[in-house]
A and B are shown apart, each in its own frame.
Chain A
Amino acid sequence: MTNSPYVRAALAQVVLDNVPPLIRRTLLDQLAFREEYGFKTEAVLAFGDSGFSIQRSDLFQAVRTVLAGACEAEVTDTDGRAWMLRNESGREIQPNLVVSSGEHRLVLPDFAVLSQDSAIRLRSLVEAASDVNLPVSAQDAWRSILTERALEDDEVDPFHSDIRDTPVHLERSIRREITAGHSSVSSLVPSSRRYFERLVGVYDGSASIRGYAAGAGHKFMQKLSAWRPYEGFLFSLFLSSHAALTAEIGVDYLGSDDLVRAYDFIQNHGDILSRLGAIEVGLRILTERPEIEPYVLRLVHRIRDDDVEAAAGEFKLFAASFVLVDGELSRTRLMSKEPPFYRRLASLAQAALIHRQLVQCGIDRDSFCEWAFNNRGEQYYMQSLADMRTEPRWNPDLAAALQMKADFFGRIMIASRNFEKNIGAGELRDLALGDGPGTLHALSEFPRPYFPGPLEGAEDSPNDLPDDLTRVIEAQLDTDEVEPSSFVALVNSAMVFKVTSGQAELAAKALRLGNYRLANVEEKSQLLGILNGLATVAAVARNPVLADELRILVRRYRHDAQYGLPIEEAMRICLVASGSRDHLTEWREFAGQWLTELAFSELEGDEGEVLHSHLHCLLQAVPELWVSCARADAALKAYCSR
């Protein structure tokens, strides 16, 4: 014998009452669960700061009554106050619902999806979907319901949530919040995977940004263009964090007026990433669309002339926005299963979206930058160091405004060379391809423009090490007296050229022969430069031997009387060198042992607190590290509460 549906529901209700409210709500949000036990849900709707809150079923019943043709319907809010609901659409087909009570008047959101008229429901869907560029798959899902029937009470919020979870809607919401003078990390960086997929496309399993750009990126750009050519172009530019992506931005559907209008917008109200993308696209299409040349020139000027040190600098603001977004995505672990390049693509696009709203609203940029770094700087930094396991050629310091500007210079110079035939004689050519005063080349600090970009950490350098440089590296490392200069050529080559594992082994051998001591160290910054550089060599060459020897060298200098290494530097070197191991198990073993050694070592001042805080962020980014770092966590907890 089985229980009757009534008994089953009653028993389920008893258990449900003792379930944590959050889990209870999650279960009740699921249609299958509600249907299984015949549960109905009820909710109270509150409308911002209006003071109007009401039982959902009461309001929706009144909405249905009015949408069915009644002049008005009375509703009572949770405080017992009576409100009158009317449809004030006049001759418009789509309803415009307003509630009023005395002098209070409130326009309600679009509840046309509750109408019994399928034409009204579907028109509402089409308009909302077009307005926010709702993906076709989401449109289809709602259309299949709305064609058949009005939404149930508990389907209305998921519908509106779907509409809200779009870059178009978020842009407006961020601008509104900034104008009103209040904003938060969670409102700037949604914790919704669906949102980010609508911003940069759905990750398709590509191993590199180039693969992604040619696959999902290409399709995504096409959809943006098909939605609305002008707006789609402006949204495409948020994906300008790699030249392979801007190569996929098409302008075929944009007429001359709209193209000029878009370039004018980007020049005057755009974010700095979109400006770079507009330059790369512009250089590519210059022959067919010469009308944009003056805009491209002015965009290059704006990038060239930005002062990275100034409080109002564009690069500084963009770098801070990126750190904020990437740190938050690390904290929420929203993309913990995808490669870092995809998360960074999303972070850079969102940073550009935020940046575009900030420059239009006018804010205290210095305060924003400080707030961003204080809130998510540490999480960003630890996540980026952990990312070096799979993408060893990009490190968190490369997000500094100075390096970002250099990276932009590099991309503009490369694009200019690639499309040199499109650029006629004149200022643009001189600026991008010349080497006179004021040109990008003259203002570049070699080799910064040729460092890998944030999405290129997994790629080998395209540049083979020149033979003469190979000989210099070998000559420097073949020495009886091992000193910082012995490693200079190797270290300076690591970010620009392909460094082989054999060359890393030579460095490891030199460290051994020098008995883990560097002669003729002139100052601490020089020592730090070499140690960090060797860690980078170990990572990019995937050479565990050099990483092992470096660990001994760092141990040697950690408490050196003259050149002692702060704990933050030791931890950074440890995590960069850990990039020598790409397999998670080996990586966490190596990093964990080293971090545990640091945790148990003699700590000075606030080093224990600093290390524990950094470790906490690291464990958040890579929970698998608990297996090798739990002892370190315990030691630091004991130390910090001593």
Chain B
Amino acid sequence: MTTTETAELKAIRESILRVRMSDWLQLPKEAPWLDKTLKAYIRVLKNLWKDGADISEVTARSNWIADQVDVRGWAHSLGPENGDNVVLIGRGAHILLLLTPPTDTQQDIVDAYWGWMEERILGPIREQFPELYVWLVEWHRRQIAEMAATELTEGVAT
């Protein structure tokens, strides 16, 4: 299934592309704009994966959004050193946002999301950027270790 872009979506996409085509974005001063923009896209993406969603339709829409949120496309605004870091490993922090499942949804939707995300995002990273994949795996290992070390306090359920 393919998506048909509405006028509003086209306008949003092109207005952001216009910024990306230029040297207008001033980093780090204007980093919050970029951060909020990308996070808004991802929030919308996650909201698509709701109970009863048509998976093929949601997949097509998610693919459209995934095309907009590749942080490597802003590498020129980050300068050579930061740009290199973001392109190679640093984008991992951004990709983590896509690795958490949608909340308050049934397991079959979560599974469908995992399927889409792994085919579109994580699988290619594992195959083509193994160092980044290792970084992502290690991040999760640390999270698990931290959680496992969290001391549970005794309490009485009410």
Question: Footprint of B on A, CB under 8 Å?
Answer: 1-3, 7-9, 11-12, 14-16, 18-23, 26-27, 33, 36-37, 191, 331-333, 585, 600, 619-620, 623-624, 626-631, 633-635, 637-638, 641
The complex places the Cα of A483 from the Cα of B107 at a distance, in Å, of: 71
B43 interfacial contact with A, CB 8 Å:
no
**A-contact bits for B114-131, CB 8 A (1 contact / 0 none):** 100110001100111100
A212 to chain B, nearest CB (A): 23
Total count of chain B residues near the partner, CB < 8 A: 48
Partner of A7, one of B20, B114, B152: B152
Report yes or no: A627 in contact with B21, Cβ–Cβ below 8 A: no
Cβ contact within 8 Å between A637 and B87: no
What residue in chain B is nearest A5 (Cβ atoms)? B148
Is B127 in contact with A191, judged by CB distance below 8 angstroms? yes
Taking the complex as formed, is B60 at the interface, i.e. its CB lies under 8 A from any CB of chain A? no
Q: Which of B88, B129, B147 has the most CB of A within 10 A?
A: B147
With a cutoff of 8 Å between Cβ atoms, the chain B residues found around residue A620 in the complex are 128
Contact A33 B141 (CB under 8 A): yes
Which B residue's beta carbon lies closest to that of A629? B76
- Is A332's CB under 8 angstroms from B144's CB? no
- B47 CB-CB contact with A under 8 Å: no
In the bound complex, residues from chain B placing their C-beta under 8 Å from that of A585 are: 80
CB atoms of A631 and B144 under 8 A apart:
no
CB < 8 Å neighbour of B152 from A3, A191, A628: A3
A627-B83, A627-B84 known; A638+B76 contact, CB < 8 A: no
Find out whether the CB atom of A20 lies under 8 angstroms from the CB atom of B99: yes
Could you list which residues of chain B lie within 8 angstroms of chain A, going by C-beta atoms?
5, 10, 13-14, 17-18, 20-23, 72-78, 80, 83-84, 87-88, 99-101, 114, 117-118, 122-123, 126-129, 133, 136-137, 140-141, 143-145, 147-152
A155–B30 Cα gap in the complex (Å)?
51
Cβ-defined contact, B147 with A333, below 8 A: no
User: Which residues does chain A contribute within 8 Å of B126, judged by CB atoms?
Assistant: 22, 26
Most chain B beta-carbon contacts within 10 A, residue among A331, A628, A630: A630
A interface majority secondary structure: helix
Closest 3 CB pairs of A and B: A634-B20, A627-B83, A626-B75
Please report the C-alpha to C-alpha distance between residue A268 and residue B100 in the assembled complex, in whole angstroms: 57
Contact yes or no, B149 A8, CB < 8 A: yes
Contact status B148-A11, CB under 8 Å:
yes
Q: Are B101 and A18 in contact (CB under 8 A)?
A: yes
**Contact between chains at A634 and B17 (CB < 8 Å):** yes
Q: Give the distance in Å from the alpha carbon of A27 to the alpha carbon of B139 in the complex.
A: 11
Decide if B20 touches A1 in the complex (CB within 8 Å): no
CA distance A629 to B21 in the complex (A): 10
Quick check: B118 and A21 within 8 Å, CB to CB?
Answer: yes
Given A23-B137, A626-B83, is A638 in contact with B21 using a C-beta cutoff of 8 Å? yes
Asked if residues B117 and A20 are in contact (CB atoms below 8 Å), the reply is: yes
Are A630 and B127 neighbours in the complex by a CB distance under 8 Å? no
Which residue of A is nearest B75, CB measured? A626
Bound CA span A289–B80, Å: 60
Most A CB contacts (10 A, CB to CB) among B5, B21, B128, B151 go to B21
Q: Is the CB of B152 within 8 A of A23?
A: no
Let me know if B76 and A627 touch, CB within 8 A.
yes
Contact for B87 among A14, A33, A627, CB less than 8 A: A627
When the two chains form their complex, are residues A27 and B21 in contact, meaning their CB atoms are under 8 A apart?
Answer: no
Q: Is the CB of A638 within 8 A of B17?
A: yes
Taking CB as reference atom, which chain B residue is nearest A600? B21
Please tell me if the beta carbons of B140 and A626 are within 8 angstroms of each other in the complex: no
Given A22-B122, A191-B127, A333-B128, is A633 in contact with B73 using a C-beta cutoff of 8 Å?
yes
B23: which A residues are within 8 A, CB to CB? Answer: 631
User: If the complex has contacts A2-B149, A7-B152, are A27 and B73 also in contact, measured as CB distance less than 8 A?
Assistant: no
User: B37 CB to closest chain A CB, in angstroms?
Assistant: 14
The residue among A37, A600, A637 with the most chain B CB atoms within 10 A of its own CB is A637
What separation, in Å, do the CA atoms of A23 and B140 have in the docked complex?
A: 8
Interface contacts beyond A634-B17, A638-B14: sample of 5 additional A-B pairs, CB < 8 Å, sorted by A: A3-B148, A12-B145, A19-B144, A585-B80, A626-B73
Distance in Å: Cβ of A619 to nearest Cβ of chain B: 8
A629→B20 CA distance, assembly (Å): 11
Contacts of B77 in A (CB 8 A): 630
Residues of A within 8 A of B5 (CB): 641
Complex CA–CA separation, A585 to B72 (angstroms)? 17
Contacts of A331 on B, CB cut-off 8 Å? 128
Cα(A549)–Cα(B14), bound, Å:
35
Shortest CB-to-CB span from B98 to chain A, Å, is: 9
- Are A27 and B75 also in contact (CB < 8 A) when A11-B147, A12-B148, A627-B83 are? no
Query: What would be 5 A-B contacts, judged by CB atoms less than 8 Å apart?
Result: A3-B149, A11-B147, A600-B21, A624-B87, A628-B76
Bound Cα distance from A188 to B78, whole angstroms: 39
Q: A12-B144, A23-B136, A27-B141 are in contact. Are A627 and B149 (CB under 8 A)?
A: no
The answer to whether B84 and A624 have CB atoms under 8 Å apart is yes
Tell me which residues across on chain B come within 8 A of A626, comparing CB atoms.
Answer: 72-73, 75-76, 83, 87
B127 close to A332 (CB less than 8 A): yes
Q: Whole-angstrom distance between the alpha carbons of A633 and B122 in the complex?
A: 22
Q: For the complex, what is the distance from the CA of A191 to the CA of B141, rounded to whole Å?
A: 25
**A448 to chain B: closest CB distance in Å?**
36
Chain A residues near B137 (CB-CB < 8 A): 23, 26-27
User: Which of the residues B21, B87, B133, B147 comes within 8 Å of A15, measured between beta carbons?
Assistant: B147
Expressed in whole angstroms, the Cα–Cα distance for A9 and B147 within the complex equals: 10
Task: Determine how close the nearest CB of chain B comes to the CB of A327; give it in whole angstroms.
Answer: 13
CA distance in complex: A21, B119 (Å): 12
Contacting pair A16 B136 (CB below 8 A): no
B87 touches A22 (CB 8 A): no
Docked CA distance A172–B13 (Å): 50
Query: Within 8 Å CB of A638, what residues of B?
Result: 14, 17-18, 21
CB distance from B69 to the nearest CB of A (A): 13
Q: Is the CB of A627 within 8 A of B144?
A: no
User: Which residues of chain B have C-beta atoms less than 8 A from A23's C-beta?
Assistant: 99, 122, 136-137, 140
Please, how many angstroms separate the alpha-carbon atoms of A633 and B75 in the complex? 11
- Whole-angstrom CA separation of A631 from B76 in the bound complex: 7
A634 touches B87 (CB 8 A): no
* Inter-subunit contact B72/A15 (CB<8 Å): no
Given known A3-B151, A12-B148, A627-B87, contact A22–B73 (CB-CB < 8 A): no
CA distance A626 to B71 in the complex (A): 10
Residue contact A630 to B76, C-beta cutoff 8 Å: yes
Structural contact, B75 and A627, CB atoms closer than 8 A: yes
Cα separation A33 to B138 with both chains bound (whole Å): 11
Closest to B78 in A: A627
Q: Could you say which residues of chain A place their CB within 8 Å of the CB of B114?
A: 20-21
Q: Report yes or no: B148 in contact with A8, Cβ–Cβ below 8 A.
A: yes
List the A residue with the shortest CB-CB distance to B77. Answer: A630
B26 to chain A, nearest CB (A): 15
A15 to B140 alpha-carbon distance, docked (Å): 9
CA distance A11 to B10 in the complex (A): 45
A23-B99, A332-B128, A635-B21 known; A15 and B143 CB under 8 Å?
yes
Docked complex Cα distance between A20 and B150 (Å): 22
- Kindly report which residue of chain B lies nearest to residue A632, judged by CB atoms: B21
Cα of A635 to Cα of B17 in the assembled complex, Å: 7
Q: Which residues of A contact B128 (CB under 8 A)?
A: 331-333, 620
